[in-house]
Chain A
Amino acid sequence: MVVFLNNEPDRIVEAFVGEYASGKSEIAINRALELKDQGRKVTLVDLDTVEPFYTLRPIKKALEEEGLNIIAFSRSDSFGLGETGAMLNPRARWALLNEGDIILDIGYGVFGAQMLNLVEGANESTDLQIIAVVNYSRPMTGTRQRIKEYVEKLGRVDAIVANTHLGNETTWSVIKEGNDEICRVAREMKIPVAYMTVDEQFRDREEMDLDMPIKYLKRYMPSAIW
């Protein structure tokens, strides 16, 4: 067996998992750019095998121009393939061999989370952090009980990102109420909440009295198909 673990010191490897449409792609893109802005070398991997041509494809080029290494199908890769069903990009399978930080955007809910098993070295990696993204406004994670059941189904989860929002109708009370509930469940489950994510339009507008770090999100996904 070939052993190819790439355990550089201080390397960041994060996989974002969670309910369909919970915000994984948006948060993964923002996280990758945040690390890149710190002068780090970053690879962002689209690991949606159910809808492999849609998530990052429309904005791939723009993100590459921002200085990220993107592993995702491009328009020319997907032209002519049609509805091929589940498909694993070979570059995604071997993504952990890339130098520098790796951010994995794992699409499509619980079944998506199982796809992490297809990434070579993921289970052996000592750097890997599996982070569940939760939006309390998503009905399937819209009560404490549902969040708990959902996160349990995901398998290993090292941290949670609280991402409660209502798209263009987001208010502070929506964010606060939802993220409070997420924190409560996280405490019960003994999973740390790494931070909460809030649309950058809320930056400096009001004080949040949550005992939690905030990361502001620039929205890229409205330019993607879905």
Chain B
Amino acid sequence: MARIMEETRKAFITGNEAVTWGALAAGAEIMFGYPITPQNEVMHYWTRLAPQYGKGFLQTEDELSAGFTVCGSVQSGKKAFTATAGPGNVLMQEPFGMAEAMRLPLFAVIQQRGGPSSGTVVYSQQEVTLTTFGGNGEGHRIVYSTASHQEIYDYTIKGFNTAWKYRFPTFLLGDGYQAKMREPLEMYNPEDRGIEMIDTYPLIGLPGHIGENREPQHLCNIYSLEEELYEVVMRVSAEYEAISPELVEYEEKECEDADIIVLSHGVVSRAADDAVKELRAQGIKAGYFRPITLRPYPQKQLREAIAKSGAKKLLIAESAYGQLDRLTKQEIYGETIKIENLFMPGVGIIDYDIISKVKSSL
């Protein structure tokens, strides 16, 4: 694979550009997409860079097609991806479900915008439920929620590997603020960091003859019999649960003696981090917990943080009306810690909002 970065260098870029450069560095071969704010610059930059690096791009007629063309492309062994947001994410749930059913290594970037429907073109964290459990299935997917441009770059590279290693559709969940804001990050070639990119492989058109010298692939998204489907879903569920412990990622700070743990994800966790530092400086024992993977959820680690701290309260802060809250509650069912909320759907949350809420909760 050709080296994308001549040298590891700091750059000043937007989050959408970080996706594009990360995908290039990861060896992505083709992007399929349909324009929607706030992910447009992923496509814009990919189309500017693709000809320089011999990569492909197809603008499909809508998001359904963009999702399905990724499903097709990865079956031929191409490292393919897409990016979308809001209503586009809704439309792509059908192809994402196909990727779950057929165990396709699909990688998609979601830059959340406000909802419901077309909502706003700007920002929110209202696509948590959709991205983790959208579609008519069981949520057999892997979702990374990033909080900085460095993470967008890092997890784009990682996302391709996760998809091809585990064969579950994999998502990078960003948002309009992360997509558009600018900050420095370090761009590198994966091999310079000792990251081995998994070689892609075709899933169809394999050599040999079925029944003679190889088994069929069984890439199947429809079953005639209920019992057949039952067996498949039970088997895939067991596989997903078995790999979950090695997939979960989280960040935890100051939870050892915390009276209250602030739980947030994505860009809001930056405000939570600042808030916890400020609260500690004021002598208030606040802790910080952030799931990086929303699917699978680091529920064991969160339960442990609650147990060891003896915290009396968990404050869940999100730019949505309870999507992270619901996800967290179902994951830590049985915990008796009191849960407080800071729900600000569609608007940003700053450290001041969290500090005020913590102070009024204690």
* 0 or 1 for each of B1-39: is its CB under 8 Å from A? (1 = yes): 000000001111110010001000000000000000100
Residue of A nearest to B182 (CB): A21
Tell me whether B122 and A225 are in contact (CB under 8 A): yes
B12's partner among A83, A165, A225 (CB-CB below 8 A) is A165
Residues of B near A142 (CB, < 8 A) are 9, 11
A168's partner among B48, B184, B187 (CB-CB below 8 A) is B184
A137's partner among B11, B45, B48 (CB-CB below 8 A) is B11
In residues 164-195 of chain B, which contact A (Cβ within 8 Å)? Answer: 177, 180-184, 187
A139's partner among B11, B41, B122, B183 (CB-CB below 8 A) is B11
Tell me whether A169 and B122 are in contact (CB under 8 A): no
Q: How far is the CA of A83 from the CA of B37 in the complex (A)?
A: 9
Residues of A near B182 (CB, < 8 A) are 21, 167, 226
Asked whether B59 is an interface residue with its Cβ less than 8 Å from the other chain, the reply is: no
Residue of B nearest to A51 (CB): B37
Residues of A near B45 (CB, < 8 A) are 140
Residues of A near B9 (CB, < 8 A) are 142
Instruction: Give the interface SS of chain A, mostly helix, strand, loop or mixed.
Output: loop
Asked whether A174 is an interface residue with its Cβ less than 8 Å from the other chain, the reply is: yes
Tell me whether B48 and A139 are in contact (CB under 8 A): no
In residues 47-67 of chain A, which contact B (Cβ within 8 Å)? Answer: 51, 54
Asked whether B121 is an interface residue with its Cβ less than 8 Å from the other chain, the reply is: yes
Q: How far is the CA of A82 from the CA of B12 in the complex (A)?
A: 30
Count of chain B residues near A, Cβ 8 A: 22
Tell me whether B184 and A138 are in contact (CB under 8 A): no
Asked whether B356 is an interface residue with its Cβ less than 8 Å from the other chain, the reply is: no
Asked whether B118 is an interface residue with its Cβ less than 8 Å from the other chain, the reply is: yes
In residues 145-168 of chain A, which contact B (Cβ within 8 Å)? Answer: 165-168
Q: How far is the CA of A187 from the CA of B116 in the complex (A)?
A: 53
Tell me whether A21 and B14 are in contact (CB under 8 A): yes
Tell me whether B13 and A169 are in contact (CB under 8 A): no
Q: How far is the CA of A24 from the CA of B11 in the complex (A)?
A: 17
A166's partner among B10, B21, B122, B177 (CB-CB below 8 A) is B10
Residues of B near A135 (CB, < 8 A) are 12
Tell me whether A20 and B14 are in contact (CB under 8 A): yes
* 0 or 1 for each of A59-91: is its CB under 8 Å from B? (1 = yes): 000000000000000000000001100000000
Q: Indicate whether A166 sits within 8 Å of B187 (C-beta atoms), given known contacts A137-B11, A139-B21, A140-B48.
A: no
Residues of B near A168 (CB, < 8 A) are 183-184
Q: Indicate whether A225 sits within 8 Å of B180 (C-beta atoms), given known contacts A21-B14, A83-B121, A138-B11.
A: yes
Q: How far is the CA of A177 from the CA of B4 in the complex (A)?
A: 22
B13's partner among A54, A83, A139, A174 (CB-CB below 8 A) is A139
Closest chain B CB from A73 CB (angstroms):
14
Tell me whether B14 and A137 are in contact (CB under 8 A): no
Tell me whether B48 and A138 are in contact (CB under 8 A): no
B180's partner among A166, A167, A226 (CB-CB below 8 A) is A226
Residues of A near B41 (CB, < 8 A) are 20
Residue of A nearest to B12 (CB): A137
Q: How far is the CA of A138 from the CA of B182 in the complex (A)?
A: 10
Closest chain A CB from B148 CB (angstroms):
12
Tell me whether B13 and A138 are in contact (CB under 8 A): yes
Tell me whether A139 and B17 are in contact (CB under 8 A): yes
Among B10, B181, B182, B183, the one with the most A-chain Cβ atoms within 10 Å of its Cβ is B182
Residue of B nearest to A22 (CB): B12
Among A138, A165, A226, the one with the most B-chain Cβ atoms within 10 Å of its Cβ is A226
Closest chain B CB from A82 CB (angstroms):
7
Q: Indicate whether A169 sits within 8 Å of B14 (C-beta atoms), given known contacts A83-B118, A225-B122.
A: no
Tell me whether B118 and A82 are in contact (CB under 8 A): yes
Residues of B near A165 (CB, < 8 A) are 12
Q: Indicate whether A21 sits within 8 Å of B13 (C-beta atoms), given known contacts A83-B118, A139-B21.
A: yes
Residue of A nearest to B179 (CB): A226
Tell me whether B183 and A167 are in contact (CB under 8 A): yes
Tell me whether B184 and A169 are in contact (CB under 8 A): yes
Q: How far is the CA of A166 from the CA of B181 in the complex (A)?
A: 13
Residues of A near B181 (CB, < 8 A) are 226
Q: Indicate whether A139 sits within 8 Å of B180 (C-beta atoms), given known contacts A82-B118, A169-B10, A174-B10.
A: no
Closest chain A CB from B1 CB (angstroms):
19
In residues 194-226 of chain A, which contact B (Cβ within 8 Å)? Answer: 225-226
Closest chain B CB from A196 CB (angstroms):
16
In residues 229-271 of chain B, which contact A (Cβ within 8 Å)? Answer: none
Residues of A near B17 (CB, < 8 A) are 139
Tell me whether B118 and A137 are in contact (CB under 8 A): no
Q: How far is the CA of A39 from the CA of B121 in the complex (A)?
A: 39
Tell me whether A137 and B184 are in contact (CB under 8 A): yes
Q: How far is the CA of A104 from the CA of B40 in the complex (A)?
A: 24
Residue of B nearest to A171 (CB): B10
Residues of A near B183 (CB, < 8 A) are 167-168
In residues 116-148 of chain A, which contact B (Cβ within 8 Å)? Answer: 135, 137-140, 142
* Besides A20-B41, A137-B11, A169-B10, 9 new A-B residue pairs in contact (Cβ under 8 A), listed by A number: A21-B12, A21-B182, A54-B180, A137-B12, A137-B184, A138-B13, A142-B9, A167-B12, A226-B182
| Selected A-B contacts with CB under 8 Å, 23 pairs | A20-B14, A20-B41, A21-B182, A54-B122, A83-B37, A83-B118, A137-B11, A137-B12, A137-B184, A138-B11, A139-B11, A139-B13, A139-B17, A139-B21, A142-B11, A165-B12, A166-B12, A166-B184, A167-B184, A174-B10, A225-B177, A225-B180, A226-B14
The 3 closest A-B pairs by CB, nearest first: A226-B180, A137-B12, A166-B184
